[in-house]
Amino acid sequence: MKFTEFFKCTNRLRQEEPLTDWLQRRLKSLVAHTLVAAVTLASALPASAGQRIALIIGNSSYETVSALDNPTRDAELIASTLEQIDFQVTLLIDATQIEMKQALSDFGRNLRNGGADTTGLFYYAGHGVQSFGNNYLLPVDVSLNDAADLDLEGVEAQSVLRQMASARNRTNFVILDACRNNPFEDMAEFDSPGLAEMKAPTGTFLSYATSPGAVALDGLGQNSPFTTALAREMVKPGVAVEQMFKKVRVSVLEETNGLQTPWDTSSLTNNFTFVDAPVEAPEDLAARSLWESVQATKDPVQIMLFLRGYPDSAYADDARALLAEAIESELTNDTAVAQRPAPAEPPADEQSMFEAVQANPTVEGYREYLNAFPNGTFSEFAKGEIVALEAQASVDPIGEGVSPEPEETELALAEVEQERSTVPNVVKFDLPLIAPGSVIDGIILSEITNISPLFPPVEGLPDEYWKGQSCSNCHEWNKERLCDQANVYLTLSGQKSLEKPHPFGGILKRNLRQWAVGGCE
């Protein structure tokens, strides 16, 4: 859009004049499309979850093994966090074996009484060890003289999963921050550090503070790095649980300089968020959806349409700022074009020779031109055409019997095309196309023929032969045939057709050409 046209539209808005019929139609179309998307999104939001039950245990003050600083504070932090998000929490601090087993029994009974829609969560912070592939959580009264007595003194972590499995509820979480150090270093049977990986029963998400067989850090602050990140990320609205734990992992890696990697394994069968995304009013949802679309295009006309439709929305200030940037960009570009010196006219003999090569474009012809005019007006263009023609015809540009390096060919093509094309440098067969404002925007190449053309592919073709029909009715396009077509646009004659009318616009041709540059990957 030229700045003069843009300025007229802006001035009309300033004077509060009525929009033209065209602008009215554009606005109605944009808003209608956004409202449909908003209704669809609203209908896809998950229904309210059932009862939420949590058992939290934090053991720090051990009687016969080394005490730990943070587990009790970690358990208190998680308990208070879960209470904020509607969990019924049972919190045990410095629990004995009898207390832990009784609490697990009560926890399982509560899950069973809650029904299939109940969400269960078990969190433990404290000492934990593995023996013969089994994990054990240690109560504060553990007294172990022989590894054979571990199942008599500790609490098997598998017992938590058994309680959950007996409830047959759909969603459960087991979170273990229990790999601080080995309290039985003098026993050879406990030479494996950390915890062993457990299998997640259906509907269960298992999370470990660190990877299997590794040791977690207790932390230098009031809480462990893992629990600190967990409590922070758990309350963020609208974040799927898989993404939430991924953010926890990234945070702990950064906090520990890569020394600790949280680990998880999941067999969840439904979507889950600890905190649902806030429910937006239909108008707010429509404004957000439309703004996300308009913001991506940076089209001044669409920005103005958005401001006209939603002048008081939460995104209005951002829209005005983006509109100002568009105005500044238009002014800068127009000034640069106006101040650019006119190119010098090439000598008559160079002009004649180049026109002759263009009439019959060949590698040999362009090379003869470059030999005669190595620094001529059209020398860069000629070099690019040589690369393109050689790539299409598989002509060896180096020498007889010597194959060019594929990387060199691709780099040369990419440099040429980057100067000429407005599309991204990399276009791939299975990635969405980037064509702002076009019907093919976001479509992958393999799906192109499933779209209906915007106008008759052949002038004068009756409506019943093309309207509402997909291009696949006429074209048997596959990856190989599309690649053949794409390579045509690397030639001079093919480039001349880039701006000719096409049912999907010239932007499709330019994307195809850039796809060919990358070897039709």
- pLDDT digit string (tens) for 372-392? 888 887 787 778 778 767 765
Q: What is the DSSP letter of 520?
A: -
Q: What is the mean pLDDT of residues 136-152?
A: 86
Question: For position 402, what pLDDT does the model report?
Answer: 38
Question: For position 230, what pLDDT does the model report?
Answer: 96
Question: Is the full-model pTM beyond 0.95?
Answer: no
Better-predicted residue by pLDDT, 507 or 472: 507
Of the listed ranges 64-68, 172-176, 289-293, 448-452, the one predicted with least confidence: 448-452
Question: Which pairs count as long-range contacts for 278-286, CB under 8 Å and 24+ apart, including other chains?
Answer: 278/237, 278/238, 279/45, 282/35, 282/38, 282/39, 282/42, 283/310, 284/313, 284/314, 285/38, 285/41, 285/42, 286/31, 286/34, 286/35, 286/37, 286/38
- Average pLDDT taken over every residue of the chain: 75
pLDDT cut 90: percent of the chain above it: 29
Q: How many helices (H) and strands (E) does the chain have?
A: 18, 9
Question: For position 62, what pLDDT does the model report?
Answer: 93
The upper half-sphere exposure of residue 174, i.e. CA atoms within 13 Å in the direction of its Cβ, equals 26
Question: For position 40, what pLDDT does the model report?
Answer: 40
Do 478 and 515 contact (CB within 8 A), yes or no?
no
- pLDDT over threshold 60, residue 412: no
- pLDDT over threshold 90, residue 243: yes
The fold adopted by the segment(s) 52-266 is: Rossmann fold (3.40.50)
Question: For position 203, what pLDDT does the model report?
Answer: 94
Q: Where are the domains of the chain?
A: 3-44+281-335, 52-266, 346-404, 423-521
Residue length, the chain?
521
- pLDDT over threshold 60, residue 43: no
Better-predicted residue by pLDDT, 520 or 517: 520
Question: For position 460, what pLDDT does the model report?
Answer: 45
User: What pLDDT digit, counting tens, does each position of 193-219 carry?
Assistant: 668 788 878 999 999 998 776 666 655
Question: For position 183, what pLDDT does the model report?
Answer: 65
Q: What is the mean pLDDT of residues 285-307?
A: 81
**CA 40 – CA 291 distance, rounded (Å):** 17
Question: For position 148, what pLDDT does the model report?
Answer: 77
